[in-house]
Amino acid sequence: MSIAILNEISENLQKGKAKIVVELVQKALDEGVSANDILNEGLLAGMSIIGEKFKNDEVYVPEVLVAARAMNKGAILLKPHLAAAGVEATGKVVIGTVQGDLHDIGKNLVKMMLEGKGLEVIDLGADVAPETFIQTAIDQNCKVICLSALLTTTMGVMEDVVKKAEEMGVRDQLKIMIGGAPVSAEFCAKIGADIYTPDAASAADVAVEFCK
Ligand code: B1M
């Protein structure tokens, strides 16, 4: 039963039917399907199929955009259910997708998990310049900067953020966390960022530690 509804979520997401996706996500929650299963086996499974089709030129940007919208709308419903029960951290974090990169689904998931842990999150959105990350962290007194990148052509901007923090004399006061599909722990070490985490949940766990 739950497998059928998860497949339905995936299929409707691929068609960009945001309204139906939202209804199905709510129905699955009402039926007791876990938020993690809905996220991973429904929404993200659908996004992954769209991603493959996109790569193979079977679908194009407009189809991917409507699927992305459906993904974001469905994920919003999961937010209260993904929050870790009883864990209330304190701290302020700034997050964004780096300059030149418009992909924001992964960044939104990380934000959701951070908020679920009780952290205050300043979301700069996508296509964010290096100096904006650093200036916001200074102005808003954030200890942690979370950077997301989905393109091999924009991951280098993460290094610019690290360099900008050095130039502005605040590198030792900030933790710089990086993530996104093309990013790795090796890349993190190479550019001198503090940590790479592979998914939204582990990013939130690490941010809580950094904020302590
Ligand atoms: Co784009 N796109 N896209 N796209 N797109 C990819 C990334 C691509 C791999 C598709 C492909 O060809 N196979 C490819 C990149 C190839 C490369 O760089 N090597 C690509 C391309 C080429 C492009 C364009 C250049 C296409 C074009 O115009 N010709 C263009 C670039 C636009 C730009 O950014 N300047 C483009 C545009 C778009 C859309 C606008 C249509 C849309 C984005 C909509 C949006 O985000 N609002 C889009 C989408 C949706 C994708 C795919 C299909 C899905 C990405 C996604 O949201 N995945 C993607 C293919 C794929 O990934 N299979 C693709 C789901 C999301 C939850 O995963 O973001 O990885 P992800 O987040 C994960 C982890 O990485 C991690 O947590 C999440 C899971 O828990 N994570 C972090 C992310 N950030 C983190 C930060 C952390 C820690 C963990 O700490 C701070």
Edge to edge, the sheet with strand 195-196 lists: 120-123, 92-97, 144-148, 175-179, 195-196
Per-residue pLDDT tens for 56-68? 999 999 999 999 9
Q: Which atom of ligand 1 is nearest to the CA of 113?
A: 80
One-letter amino acid identity for 195?
I
Cβ–Cβ under 8 Å, residues 25 and 48 = no
Q: Is 90 in the pocket of ligand 1 (CB under 6 A)?
A: no
Query: What are the residue boundaries of the structural domains of the chain, listed by start?
Result: 2-85, 92-211
Per-residue pLDDT tens for 156-210? 999 999 999 999 999 999 999 999 999 999 999 999 999 999 999 899 999 999 9
Find the 69 Cα to ligand 1 centroid distance in Å.
Answer: 13
One-letter amino acid identity for 105?
I
What spatial distance separates the first Cα and last Cα of the chain, rounded to whole Å? Answer: 42
The pTM (predicted TM-score) of the whole model is 0.93
Per-residue pLDDT tens for 92-117? 999 999 999 999 999 999 998 898 88
Domain 92-211: state its class. Answer: alpha beta
Determine the average pLDDT of the residues in 79-92. Answer: 73
- Domain 2-85, what fold? 1.10.1240
Q: Is 150 in the pocket of ligand 1 (CB under 6 A)?
A: yes
